Amino acid sequence: MGRFVDSWRSHLLVTFSGNGDGRPRWVEKIELGDDAGFFGPNSASWAVHGGMATLVAGIRALLMQTLHPGAMAGVHDWSRYREDPLGRLSGTIQWLVTVTFGDTALAELESSRVGRFHDRVTGTYRDAQGIERPYAAGDPDLLAWVHIVFTDAFLQSHTIWGGAIPGGADGYVREWAKAGELVGVQNPPRSRLELQQQLDAFRDAGTLKSDERVAEAVRFIRNPPLRPAMMPFYRVMFAGAVASIPREYRDLLGVRRSLLPVVWATGAVLGLVRFLLGRSSTSEDAARARLARLAAAA
């Protein structure tokens, strides 16, 4: 039993961090710095991004992002998700974790890294009306869409499978607006109501689109190249992510909610992952070590 647990723990740590001990090199930078960062131990962002529900939130966010044809074009034309899906995952995790737990200078530096990558991502796409349009990853419309579906995914997933959020849903949306601003989002939502209104605005404007590119991405997200032993548990979380998406978006994605109790099953899988990985987060531990150092120095 101990060998089984150790093997699974190693698989999970490599998958989510790219490192067998669960502490990527960039986490060491989180322990450095001269301030508490944009958030802190009692923040909504620490609560949401430090929870296991982030595993499902990531799946949901990826699915929803595909529905904007401009965002999908950028992924299709520039992303190496087919060749190196875990590399893309680890890059996204690095930004999320650094902005959440790092000091302000490190969060700004990491966001600048993301912005520099966005500067290279340009091309054309056909919108939902069939009109060819230019795109750049830094376009306000695309940045807004990615931020909105990201925020919505993490909020909804934590609401279903996580615990209480300090300041509630409004607190999380308001806090994470700062992360959006760091990567160039203009007028990010600052309440749950504004988040829903901005999401609805994309739908009502006829911006969203379902096509073969979306279907291809959904197939990949459904069956990523993970270790075979992990796939049954991943498929449960995928089904949970789908169940958490409103039906109008599920229809566009071409996915159906399972008739099985996948919300409950997803909670059970997340509980297993928590048992295997332990309750502590290397990133949060590093942030707390920084805060303790600063408090001692003061």
What are the residue ranges spanned by the domains of the chain?
Answer: 2-297
CA 258 – CA 243 distance, rounded (Å): 7
Residue 271 φ then ψ, to 5° = -65, -40
pLDDT band at residue 5 using 50, 70 and 90 as cut-offs: very low
- Nearest Cα neighbor of 292 from 31, 2, 24, 4 is 31
Joined tokens for residue 29 = 């930078």
| Mean per-residue pLDDT, 86-110 | 84
Q: Is pLDDT of 199 > 80? A: yes
Q: Is pLDDT of 222 > 90? A: yes
Mean pLDDT computed over every residue of the chain: 87
- Per the listing, tokens 């737990």 go with 101
Q: Is pLDDT of 247 > 70? A: yes
Q: Is pLDDT of 291 > 50? A: yes
pLDDT band at residue 2 using 50, 70 and 90 as cut-offs: very low
Q: Which of 22-26, 107-111, 251-255 has the lowest mean pLDDT?
A: 22-26
- Nearest Cα neighbor of 112 from 46, 218, 183, 160 is 183
Between 254 and 281, where is the model more confident? Answer: 254
Share of the chain above pLDDT 90, in %: 61
Query: What pLDDT does 16 receive?
Result: 53
Joined tokens for residue 295 = 């408090």
- Pairing assessment for the beta strands 122-126 and 132-136 based on DSSP bridges: antiparallel
| Mean per-residue pLDDT, 32-41 | 93
135 near 70, Cβ under 8 Å?
yes
Query: What pLDDT does 93 receive?
Result: 80
User: What's 102's DSSP letter?
Assistant: S
Q: Is pLDDT of 241 > 90? A: yes
**Alpha carbon distances (Å) from 21 to 167, 174, 193, 221:** 33, 33, 40, 26
Q: What is the pTM of this model?
A: 0.90
| Mean per-residue pLDDT, 229-244 | 93
| Mean per-residue pLDDT, 130-144 | 89
Query: What pLDDT does 206 receive?
Result: 93
Share of the chain above pLDDT 70, in %: 86
Q: Is pLDDT of 18 > 90? A: no
CA 111 – CA 183 distance, rounded (Å): 6
| Mean per-residue pLDDT, 179-195 | 96
Q: Which of 123-137, 149-163, 229-243 has the lowest mean pLDDT?
A: 123-137
**Alpha carbon distances (Å) from 229 to 12, 218, 232, 233, 277:** 11, 21, 7, 8, 17
CA 216 – CA 237 distance, rounded (Å): 19
**10 Å Cβ neighbour count for 226?**
15
**Alpha carbon distances (Å) from 43 to 46, 48, 156, 164, 289:** 5, 9, 17, 11, 17
**Going by C-beta distance under 8 Å and a sequence separation of 6 or more, which residues neighbour residue 181?**
188
- Per the listing, tokens 């919505």 go with 152
CA 248 – CA 255 distance, rounded (Å): 10
86 near 178, Cβ under 8 Å?
no
Query: What pLDDT does 135 receive?
Result: 86
| Mean per-residue pLDDT, 54-71 | 92
- 203: buried, middle or exposed (CB in 10 Å: 19+, 13-18, 0-12)? middle
- Per the listing, tokens 């997340």 go with 270
Please report how the helices 140-161 and 231-244 are oriented relative to each other, as an axis angle in degrees rounded to 10.
110
Give the DSSP H or E segment for 239.
helix 231-244
Type of residue at 146: V
